[in-house]
Each structure stands twice: as C-alpha cells, then as structure tokens.
Amino acid sequence: MHLLLSLVFSMFSFWLHVSLHFLNPPRRGPAGGGGGGTKSMGFGGLEPDRPEFHFCLCHCGPDSNPRRNYLISPNPESSSSKLGSLICATMDQKIISLAAEKTADRLQEFLQSLKDNDLANLLQNQAVKGKAAGALLRAIFKGSPCSEEAGALRRLKIYICGIHLVESGDLQKEVASEIIGLLMLEAHNFPGPLLVELAREFVGAIEEGSLTNGRSLELLPIILTALVANKENLAYGKGVLSGEECKKQLINTLCSGRWDRQYVIQLTSMFKDVPLTAEEVEFVMEKVLRMFSKLNLQEIPPLVYQLLVLSSKGSRRRALEGIITFFSELDKQHNEEQSGDELLDLVTVPSGELRHVEGTVILHIVFAIKLDCELGRELLKHLKAGQDFSNNICPFSIALLLSVTRIQRYEEQVFDLLKASVVKSFKDLQLLQGSKFLQNLVTQRSCVSTMILEVVKNSVHSWDHVTQGLVEFGFILMDSYGPKKILDGKTIETSSSLSKIPNQHACKLGANILLETFKIHEMIRQEILEQVLNRVVTRASSPISHYLDLLSSIIMYAPLVLQSCSSKVTETFDYLSFLPLQTVQGLLKAVQPLLKVSMSVRDSLILVLRKAMFASQLDARKSAVAGFLLLLKNFKVLGSLSSSQCSQSIGVSQVHVDVHSRYNSVANETFCLEIIDSLRRCLGQQADVRLMLYEGFYDVLRRNSQLANSIMQTLLSQLKQFYEPEPDVLPPLKLEACILTQGDRISLQEPLDYLLCCVQHCLVWYKSRVMPLQQEEEEEEGFYQDLEDMLESVTSRMIKSELEDFELDKSADFSQNSGVGIKNNICASLVMGICEVLIEYNFSISNFSKNKFEEVLSLFMCYKKLSDILNEKAGKGKAKTANKMDSFLSMKFVSDLLTALFRDSTQSHEESLSVLRSSNEFMRYAVSVALQKVQQLKETGHVSGPDGQNPEKIFQNLCDITRVLLWRYTSIPTSVEDLGKKEKGKSISLLCLEGLQKIFSAVQQFYQPKIHHFLRALDVTDNEGEEAEGSVSHRAAFQIRQFQRCLLNLLSQEEDFDSKEALLLVTVLSNLSRLLEPSSPQFVQMLSWTLKICKENSWEDASFCKGLMNLLFSLHVLYKSPVTLLRDLSQDIHGHLGDIDQDIEVEKTNHFAMVNLRTAAPTVCLLVLSQAEKVLEEVDWLITKLKGQVSQEILSEEASSQATLPNHPVEKAIIMQLGTLLTFFHELVQTALPSGSCVDILLKDLCKMYTILTALVRYYLQVCQSSGGILKNMEKLVKLSGSHLTPLCYSFISYIQNKSQSLTCTGEKKGKAPAVATAMARVLRETKPIPNLIFAIEQYEKFLIHLSKKSKVNLMQHMKLSTSRDFKIKGNILDVVLREDEDDNEGTASEHEGQNKEPAKKKRKKEMKCLS
C-alpha cells in the first residue's frame, strides 16, 4: 500500500512540474540570437535559454531513488544541463515515435505544444552530440506542413536553424552532410514567399561576410531553382515579381555586393548549379573576373577551374579573355619589377610561383577544352580577332595555344594561327622600320618572336605540356620558311641584319626556339637531335643549311651531353655516301666537337669514310676526302704551331674536354699519319677528288705543322710525275699527261694548276712560319729545296715558252664540239692557271726585286695572250667565257698586290714597282681579280683559296682592298685617266668604282656588326686615340661626301658624261646612305643634296634617272611621307607628256629637272606608281588596325564614346595621305601615257585607291555604329574623290579604249598575223583591269550611300552617275554606217574587205568621243 501511494505521488509530481516548465516559456536571448555558445551566422537563429536557476524534474524510472527526483541546482552548467539533456532525450524519442505513426495529426499537435526555441535547442543538442539528428529533423519537417501558416513558419525557423548548425562548424562531417541533404530535399516544399526570405538571408550573410565555412552555400542553388519553379507572383521590395524575376534580382544584388575573398571559389562553384540566363552568366562572370586581382596567387587555379565549369552555361569567350588579360597584366607587372631597381627586394610575386600557377591554369583550360569543343573554338576566335593587340597575344596565351596543340582536332589550326602571327609580326616590323610616317603614328609593341622565346624560358618551370608544342612549332617554322631553291640551284643566303625578309626571320626564330628548348629541357634533347638529323638526311636535295647551323649550335653547346645520343649521329654517318658533298661538309663540320670527346663516334666515322673512299659514286669519294681532311685539321699533333688563323674556333667547353679526354697529341700523330696514307690513294682517282685534296692540304698544314714532312713529300712526288727535269725542255710541264682520253671522251685527269697552287702556298707558308723556328735538318730541307728549285725552273721555262710550245696558238681549234677543241681548252685553262700560280709565288718571294717583277709581268703576258685568244675564239655570244674561271690568286695576295701597285710610296720599291705599274693591263687585271673575289663572296659567302672560309681574314682583306680602291678612284678620276688612252675594256678607275660598290654591298650583307670597324679602316687619317669618336653616321657621311664630289664633277662634264659611272656612284651612295641614322643631321643633309640634284639636273639617261630617283625615295620615306613628292612629280609628268584631250594644252611645271620627255615615261612614271602603291599599303595597314580597335571596343561593354578619341590623329593622317594621293592620281589620269606597263599599273593602282577608300568608309560605318561620328576632313575627301577623280577615271577608260581600237586597226592594216596578235595581246592586257576599276568605284559609292544614311550627312551630293558604259543605239551614226556599207558593196571583194574596216574604225572612234 505504501509503495502504491509513493508511485502515484511520483507520477503526479512529474506531471505537475513538466506542465509548469512548458507553461512558463524560457526567456529569449538578445535580438539577432547573439547569446549562447555558438556564433550567429546572420540567419536569425534561435538561441537556447540561459536562466540563473533551472528547476528540472527527471523521471528516472521505477527503480530509481525517489529522494533524488527533485533537483534544484544553482549551477546551470552541472545539474541543469544534465537534467535538460534527459528531458531533450525524452522529447526526441517522443517526436520520432510520433513521426512513425501513419498520420501526422498527433505529431503536429505535439509540435504545436512546443516552442520553436525548444525545438531548435533540441535539434542543436542532438546534432552536436551526433545522435539521430537526421531522423529528428525529418520528423519535425513531417509535422510542420506548409499548408498551415504555423507549420510553415516553424519549418522556416527550423530550416534556418539547420543552416546555422551546418555553418557553425561544430558538427561532425557525416551529421552535417545528412542535415544538408535533408535541407536540400525540403527546399522545394516551401511556399514562394518563404523561399524569397531564405534566399535574402543567404545574400545578406554573403554581403556581410558572416559565413563561417561556406558549407551551407550548397543550399542556395536549390533554393534559387525552387524559386524559379514557383509560378506564383511574389512580393519583392516594393513590387510584385515572378519567381524568375526574383531570382534575377537576387543574383544582381549578390554580384553587386562585396564578396569575402575566402568564399569566392565556393560562390563561383555554387553558380554552376543555378539556372542562369545568358545575361546573368555574363554578370556573374564579370564579378568573378573582377575578384581575380583580390585573391592570392595560389587561389587562382581552383577559381579558374570553377570559372571554366561555369562557362559551359555561356560567355566562354569572356571567361577566356578575362583569364588571358589577367595573366598578361601580371606578366607585365612581374617583368617591370624584375627589370627595375636590383636593390629593391620587395617583389610582389616570386617568378617560380607565378610560372607554376600559370602552368596549372593552362592545364585546367586544356582539360576544359577537351571536354567542351566550343571553348576551344572560342579561344581560337578570340586570339585570331585580336592579333594586333598585346593583351591577346602574350606569353601566357602563346603557352596556352602550344598546350592546346596536344588536342588533335586543334593542332593544325593552332600552328597555322601561330605561324600567321609570327610572320605578320615580322612584316609589321619591316613596314614600321621602312616608314617614318608609320613610326610617328604607331608605337612599336613587343614582337611575337620575343614572346615565344619568353615562353621557352618560362617552360623550365615544369611546363611539360608546352614543351612538345614548342618543339613542333620550331620545326614547322624551319620547314615552312627555310631557304628555297632558286633557278640556278643556289640558295638565298643573307646576313643577320634587319634587312632580312620576314620569312627568313621566322626560320631563324624556329632555330632559336629549338636551340633554347634543347638547352633547358634534358628530356626532349634526343627527339630534337633525331629530328634535325632526319631532315639533314632526307632533305638532301633541298637547301638544309639552316638545319646544319642548328645542329652545329646544339653540338657546340654541349658535346659531352650529346655522348648519350651518339648512336643517332653514328647512324647518320651510314648515309654519308649518298648525300651531296655540300651536305657532308656541313654535317662533318657541325659534329666536329663531338669527334673530340667520343671515341666511338670518331671510329664510326673513319670506318664509313674508308668505305666511301672506294665507292663507285664520285660524290661519295669526294665526301671521304672532305671527312679525312676535316679530321686532319682538328686533331693536333704534338709540337704543332698554335695557329691563330684557325677558321673554326673551339669553345671553352671543348678545350676543357680535350684536357680530360683519353686522346693526346702523340696518339693523334699516328692517327693523322694513317689518314694521310689513306688520302695518298686519292691521287690516283678522278680530277675532282684530287682537286679537293689539293685545296685542303694547305689548311691541314697550317693547323698541324708537324705533318708538313708527310704532306710536302706527297706533293713533291706527285708534282715530279708531271715535271720535265731537263732544264732545256720546253714546256717545263707534261700537259699531255694531265689529260685522259677514253675513246671520244676527253677529260682532265690531273688538275696540275691546283697541284702547283697547293705546292706554292704550302712552300711559302712553311718558309715563313716553320723554318725560322727549326734547326737545320737535311731531311726536311731536302723536299723544301727540291720544290723551290722546281718552281724556279718552271717559272723561267714558262717565260721562255711560246704558245706554239703548248700547241695553243691562234690557229688552234678551241671549239667545244671536237675532241681537239676540248683538249685545247683544257690545256689553255691549265696554262693560264699555272701562270697565275707562278705570278703569286714570284711576287711573294720577290722582296721587291726588279728581276722578279719582270718575270711576273712576263708570266702575265703569257696569261693575257691565252685569255685574248679564248675570248676571241669563243665568239660574241660567249665573250666572257675566260673570265668565268675562278682566279688562282688568293685574296690576301690580291690585297698585297693592289696595295703595292697603288699605295706603296717607299723609295726603295719605286724602281721595281715601276715595272708592274708600266702595264695598265696588269693593273686592270689585278683590280678585276679583286672584283671577281668580292662577287664570289656575295654569291657563296666565301672565296676560293687559302683563308677563303675564314670570315675574319676575309674581312681584313676586304678592308685593305677597299682602302686601296677608294684612294685610287678618288685620286685619279676616270676623266683624267681616259685622256689620251683609248684602250679596250673598262678603265681602272671605273673598275675600282665597281669594286667599291660590290664591297659596300657585301660588307652590309655579311658583316653588319662590323660596319664601324670597316669605316674606321677606310679612314687613313684615323688615330688610335680617336677610336671612341665618330659614330657610324659620322664616318659614313665622310665617305658619302667624297662620292658626292665625284658625282658632281661627272655631272659638270656635259660632253663626256658617263652614265655607267654615274649609275655606279648613285648605287654606292645608296649603299652608304643605309648606314646613316635617319634622325642624324647627316641623313638630312644627304636627303637635301639628293633632292637638289634631282631638281637641278636634266640628264636624259633613263638608268641614271631611275637610280637617282630610287635613292631619293629610299631616303625620303625614312624622313617623312613622300606623297607631296609624288604629287609634284605627277604634275611634271603631265606637263611633259600632255593631256588625254589633245585640244587642251597643259601648263608645264618644272619641280624636278630630272623629269623630261625622255625619262617621264615609263621610267619616272613607273617609279612614282610603285611608291604610291607602297603608301596605299601603309594606309591600308593603318585602316585595318583602326578597324580592329573599333571591333574590340564594340565587343567590350565598357567602351565609351571617348574611346575613339585617341584614333583621331591617325584618322586625320590617313585622310591627308589619301587626299594628296588623290591629287596625284588626278594628274596621272589626265596624262597621255604611252601604251604599256604605265597604263596597266596605273589602272591597278586606281583600283587599289578605291578599294582603300571603301575600307575607310566601312571603318566609319563601324564608328557610327559605336556612337561616333565622321570627321570634317572625311567629308572633304569624299567631295574631292567625287569631283576630281571618279569622272576623270571614266574619261581615262575611254581614252584607253580608243587607243586600243587604233592599235588593233593598225595591226589589221599591216595584214600580218604576228602584228595583229601582238596588238590584240596588248589590248587585252591593258583593258583587263578596267572592269575591276569600275567595280571598285561602284563599291565605293555603294558604301558611301550606307554611310550617308548612318551619319545623317549627305556624302553623295558630289558624286555623278557616269554614262560612259550606257548602251545606246544612235540612229544617225547607224544610218551613216549602213550607207557606207552599201557603197562598199560596189567594189571588188578584196577592195570591199579593205575599205569596210577603215570607215567602221573611224565611226567607232567618233562614237567613243560622243559617249565620253
């Protein structure tokens, strides 16, 4: 009984206190939910109550002690919390158990009996503890239907509480994910207004920056999607909007507000799940791109990734443009910081970090392009459209493009785009450098080639995805723009000067890309080397000098590194026998450093060369000789002289290698002697093989003086076979033994002249360099004395010999059709060669002896006789056959000989030199050989003879020769020299001038960096102390003044004017004027002088006039635009040639005396038309540039009307150029030009003029579209074209047609078929451009009509519709023709045919006059 009472009392107490607890709701915290243990997230969350005392009743079950049922605790953190949790646990179970029922009525009732804060506390406690928070949340949502207002509000508060919990970061990952999943599912059940409320809470939290970890942002896309799906109209702000409009407003608010930088990536990621319109995507995109600059560098790659994902919804181009622009600006800023003050340690971004970030971003973009083809297309479109703007084509975008080449579908397009960009960049550079007009208007920006090389440099930072593209692109440039074959089989070789054409620059860029990539990336070296060697072998028939140069640079850079790739090199050696000789020589020269460090490579080469020595192909044997000679040159023998004359310097790395290699000088001697033994076998082979050997021995001797004994003995034994030992026998050499007769075929067996040349060079060098350093040894003196005696004997006997002794007198047969003639030609060339060799030998050892010089002159007379006979026999058609043979005189000897002849004033030499100076023919011969050597240098880049491959030696000889020729020409003018001397051929002074012209050209072609040294060498008065003084312009101006005086003297001789000399002087002045700096006063003086000459001299010589006018234009374009010059010249031409209307008399102007009746057409006319075409090209280039800028501004939303203001100066300049050109064409279309090229080119240029006017009109159509206007000057230009050009063009067309008809008629009158055909061909050629011109005029007028409508300015008021092409049947003319036809019928058939054409022609002419 007692127990029963206790139980009842306990139950009553529990019910009482629970009821009291819920009837007295707990107090709220401060507004905004600030109290409590969790930070407010800005979502208006509910906080648990914190009273001072909690009275809690806990029912602990029937087994618990009743004394402990009532707990009053003053400490809320101890007993109260424990009791609270017990109550919460019970409520949790109660709610979950009610949710399990079939109906939710009881659950709703129970939840309504609870306060929202208690539910929030309950949810928070359960979630933090990690208990069944998901089940509880699901139950609460089930019991809070949106159909009831209370349920909907409860649902909203619990939803916000759930967001608050997820954002707090207090939950376990699994619990937070479960809650987010439930919240996502429940979002679609909310009514519209509550969805708006939820979304606004989110936007507010983002703007305030009150997010803690941003996890809850996953819910925003769901809420916005649900909002869009809601069809009802919702109250938003002061108005009522649809769900779609509400979403738009929310996104605008969100993107207009501030974003905390730590949530930028999450926010961007969030938008990919939000349904967005194109406009909204662009708005979001702009916001994200603006945030780039506010983030840390390491945060950029993940943001770019999210941005690219977002771009699949639209605005792909804007995303790519923003990324490229951002990194372009970052690169610029980084480069400025690095090139700034070196002491400034404060660098914003470390270089390595920036490059790694760029590399990661590029990988993200390439990955995105693989998944989204449209993104790749947009990238290519964007970069194609903006090739003129530095922001688009920059190192980052180039690296990106090269990475995209890994995607097969874009590979070809990307390489084409990059190729076009490179060539366009070089063409633009060339255009800018050649025009002062353009330089004043356009700032020169960074060249694409510089950017590509920067990409190569940056690729060291793990840009493996870029490297492969770089290698492919390098080879594409070299393959596409390498040297091409020309008709005579020679390749176009030029220097590294800026005058190179863009294609050659592009080829050089390709080589630089490959070389720099090779240096940086070890992994790619094998592939580069393989591809270079493959091209050397497989493209042997094409010019491959650029590949050989690259191979040489690669091996020179690191021969030790290439040992690992040596197998590929040795594999290439197997093909040596099948390659052309020039390729073999280049290849062996390139791999030479590798031979010094790799025994296996050297042994492989020797094996191949020994096999080639006995090959059936002549080229293979010649290749073997070339290879062996190269080895002999480069393996030094102990005791050899250190030759400073080596033409191939070995770098420091190679010298270092030699020291540590297993090769030594003693071993080299054995090796070299073996090779010489192999080469001796060549002396029994064809003449070409022997010739190579003789040409190479001298270089071997100089580099390896210890081999002198072997080489000289070899040469001595060979020479003895053809030497007549008896001193009285004439001739002294067995020429018959040198010729091989096989049936009808006669050929040269032994090139005796080359053998003798080799002997004399080796002997002179040995005597001067080796003998003074050696003690007398009989063995070595033996061959030396023998050779000296033989040469002495040959000289004396050659002088005594007559041509009859060689069977080569005037009566001999020299025709190429008979065997005897061929044999005689071979013998003659041998004798002439031997004479030249002996001339050089005897002069070299003469020590200015008079007897020796007499011998030299006698040898020359023998040479001269034979040369004259050959020239005479060859006939007029081939008068220069003899001169085509290369002279055997070395360039050093020619230099010494000319110096002695013209500049040696030593008293002791006077008497002996007078012997040579007495012969004008000998002096002329010496100068002509110098000319031949310079011409050979210009054509091949080297000269024949010793040191002919050594650029330094050639340059030194050129300086010496130039100094002599310059003194000779300026001291003894042609007019003085020619007095009283009527000799055949050119005078010595004229030859000197021709030589100077060739030398100035060659020096600028091959020695551009040494121009200053060259000019200093010419200045005889220059002292050592004055070295620093005088710029290139100053020194060039000094030389120019000398030639100007010469030209003025020549022009003053009215009777004896030599146009050939005048033209040469103008060419020399043109060459020298290129050395003047356009901004220097010397350049202005040169231009003024040229202008004065053209204005005051009226020589009627077309070639001289053309040269002088070309010089004037070449100078004028570098000073200012030549349009005013063209206008003045066109007036002069019009005045001299007359008007197309014969009734009009043209007033003659005399701006330029150089323009006269003889030179006006076609010479000057064609020149001015050519210049006008260049000006039109420049204007067209500027208009294209302006159009590109306007297109960019139209595409950009930020472009304002002020954006076009910077273009006004360029627009004005274009209009001024076209206006002046218009007056130029106005004169020429009224000129009675002769039929032919002048008319043809004028019509084409007029067509270009109208095409460019149309382009300008279309540009203004674009400007009007972007709220701009047209300039007043443009209106004046249109007016001028309508009044001064278009009508006259139609008159000119009528004039041409009339002339064409008269030409045809003339041909028919003559009755000769060839004459008629020629006349018709000319007519067709001249009238062909007419339809194109008319079409261009009509297109211009068509777009003018459009522009008039757009600009609201009547531009057509000065345009008159032409009637010259109208078809009209004129009755009166028809009657006359018919009557004349009836009269003609009365005559005979032949008369009828002859008379019918003449009147018809006259009538047609009249008709055309009427029409015009």
716 pLDDT above the threshold of 60:
yes
- Residue 1175 confidence class, pLDDT cut points 50, 70, 90: very high
- pLDDT attached to residue 1252: 96
Q: Give SS3 for 61.
A: coil
Residue 1197 pLDDT class (50, 70, 90 cuts): very low
Whether 15 has a pLDDT exceeding 50, the answer reads no
Say which residue, 1036 or 49, is predicted with more confidence. Answer: 1036
Q: How confident is the model at residue 59 (pLDDT cuts 50, 70, 90)?
A: very low
What percent of the chain has a predicted confidence (pLDDT) above 90?
A: 29
Mean pLDDT score of the chain, rounded to an integer?
Answer: 78
CA distance 891 to 947: 8
1323-1353, pLDDT tens digit by residue?
566 667 888 999 999 999 999 999 888 888 8
Calculate mean pLDDT across residues 953-960.
94
26-35, 506-515, 840-849, 862-871: least confident range: 26-35
**Three-class secondary structure of residue 239 per DSSP:** strand
pLDDT at position 766: 85
Q: Which of these ranges, 99-108, 160-169, 674-683, 943-952, has the smallest mean pLDDT?
A: 99-108
Q: How do residues 748-758 score in pLDDT, each as one tens digit?
A: 999 999 999 99
Residues 6+ positions from 1082 with CB-CB distance below 8 Å: 1033, 1034, 1036, 1037, 1040, 1076
Instruction: Compute φ and ψ for 1313, nearest 5 degrees.
Output: -60, -45
1095 pLDDT band, cuts 50/70/90, is very high
More confident residue, 706 or 789: 789
Tens digits of residue pLDDT in 271-330: 877 778 888 888 888 888 888 888 888 888 999 998 898 888 888 888 888 898 888 888
Band (pLDDT 50/70/90 cuts) for residue 1361 is: low
Q: What is the mean pLDDT of residues 414-435?
A: 89
Q: Compute the distance between CA of residue 501 and CA of residue 430 in angstroms, rounded to an integer.
A: 8
CA 624, 628, 629, 634 torsion-angle sign: positive
Least confident among 95-104, 708-717, 798-807, 1135-1144: 95-104
Confidence of residue 771 (pLDDT cuts 50, 70, 90): confident
Residue 792 vs residue 47, higher pLDDT: 792
Residue 281: the pLDDT is 83
CA distance 718 to 270: 92
State the pLDDT confidence band at 994, using cuts at 50, 70 and 90: very high
User: Is residue 765's pLDDT more than 50?
Assistant: yes
Long-range contacts at 1343-1348 (CB < 8 A, ≥ 24 apart): 1343/1254, 1343/1257, 1343/1258, 1343/1261, 1344/1257, 1344/1278, 1346/1257, 1346/1261, 1347/1257, 1347/1260, 1347/1261, 1347/1264, 1347/1270
Of 431 and 178, the structure prediction assigns the larger pLDDT to 431
* Peptide bond before residue 731 is cis, with ω within 30 degrees of 0: yes
Is the pLDDT at 150 greater than 50, yes or no?
yes
Give the other-Cβ count within 10 Å of 673's Cβ. Answer: 14
Mind listing the pLDDT tens digit for each residue in 1307-1329? 555 555 565 556 556 656 666 78
**Do you know the residue count of the chain?**
1412
pLDDT at 282: 85
1046 has a pLDDT exceeding 50:
yes
- Alpha helices, DSSP H only, in 804-919? 819-846, 850-874, 891-903, 907-917
Over range 774-778, report the average pLDDT: 52
State the average pLDDT over residues 887-905. Answer: 93
Q: What pLDDT does residue 1021 have?
A: 62
pLDDT (0 to 100) of residue 293: 84
DSSP 670: H
Question: What local confidence, expressed as pLDDT, does residue 493 receive?
Answer: 46
- Spatial distance between the Cα atoms of 411 and 984, rounded to a whole number of angstroms: 65
CA 393-360-318 angle, 5° bins: 45
Q: Of 89-103, 587-601, 949-963, 1386-1400, which has the strongest mean pLDDT?
A: 949-963
Q: In this predicted model, what pLDDT tens digit does every residue of 617-628 receive, in sequence order? A: 888 899 999 999
Structure tokens at 680: 């001796």
Provide the pLDDT for residue 1320: 59
- Band the pLDDT of 151: cuts 50, 70, 90: low
Which of 554, 553, 536, 537 lies closest to 545, judged by CA? 536
**Among 813, 819, 766, 814, which residue's Cα sits nearest to residue 788?**
766
Q: Please classify residue 1315 by burial: count the beta carbons closer than 10 Å to its beta carbon, then call 0-12 exposed, 13-18 middle and 19+ buried.
A: middle
pLDDT of residue 233: 67
Among 447-456, 627-636, 1337-1346, whose mean pLDDT is lowest? Answer: 627-636
Task: Tell me the sheet residues that pair with 747.
Answer: 740
Pairing, β 70-73 against β 54-57? antiparallel
Flag whether pLDDT at 967 surpasses 90.
yes
Q: What is the 3-state secondary structure (H, E, C) of 537-598?
A: HHCCCCCCHHHHHHHHHHHHHCCCHHHHHHHHHHHHHCCHHHCCHHHHHHHHHHHHHHHHHC
On whether the CB atoms of residues 1127 and 1227 are closer than 8 A, the answer is yes
pLDDT tops 80 at residue 375: yes
Distance (Å, whole) CA 502 – CA 114: 85
Answer whether residue 630 shows pLDDT above 70: yes
| pLDDT above 80: residue 382 | yes
| pLDDT surpassing 60 at residue 372 | yes
Collapsing DSSP states into helix, strand and coil, what is residue 483? coil
The answer to whether 1166 and 1238 are in contact (CB under 8 A) is yes
On the question of pLDDT at 72 being above 50, the answer is: no
Task: Indicate whether 1094 pLDDT > 50.
Answer: yes
- What radius of gyration do the chain's Cα atoms show? 48
Asked if pLDDT for residue 713 goes beyond 80, the answer is yes
The residue ranking higher by pLDDT, 498 or 1309, is 1309
pTM: 0.81
CA atoms within 13 A on the CB side of 550: 31
What does the pLDDT average to over 544-573?
86
Between 57-61, 783-787, 896-900, 1045-1049, the lowest mean confidence (pLDDT) is in 57-61
Say what the pLDDT of residue 829 is.
92
3-state SS, 216-234, equals: HHHHHHHHHHHHHHCCCCE
pLDDT (mean) for 751-774: 86
pLDDT of residue 926: 95
Does the pLDDT value for residue 584 go beyond 60? yes
Can you give the pLDDT at residue 820?
A: 86
Q: Report the C-alpha gap between 1220 and 1226 in whole angstroms.
A: 10
Pick the closest to residue 843 from 915, 789, 785, 793 (CA basis).
915
Beta-bridge partners for 741 = 746
Give the three-class secondary structure for 132: coil
Q: Report which of 726, 702, 790 is spatially closest to residue 752, judged by C-alpha positions.
A: 790
Helices (H) and strands (E) in the chain, counts: 57, 6
The pLDDT assigned to 1002 comes to: 94
pLDDT (0 to 100) of residue 819:
82
User: Which of 490-494, 497-501, 893-897, 900-904 shows the lowest per-residue confidence on average (mean pLDDT)?
Assistant: 490-494
What does the pLDDT look like over 1204-1251, one tens digit per residue? Answer: 445 788 999 999 999 999 999 999 999 999 888 899 999 999 999 999
Higher pLDDT: 1301 or 266? It is 266
Write out the two tokens for 211. Answer: 């997010």
**Position 62 confidence tier, pLDDT thresholds 50, 70, 90:** very low
For residues 592-601, average pLDDT: 85
The region of weakest confidence among 142-151, 202-211, 714-723 is 142-151
Buried b / exposed e over 349-373, threshold 16 CB at 10 Å, is eeeeebbbbbbbbbbbbbebbeebe
Angle ∠(261,267,273) on CA atoms, nearest 5:
170
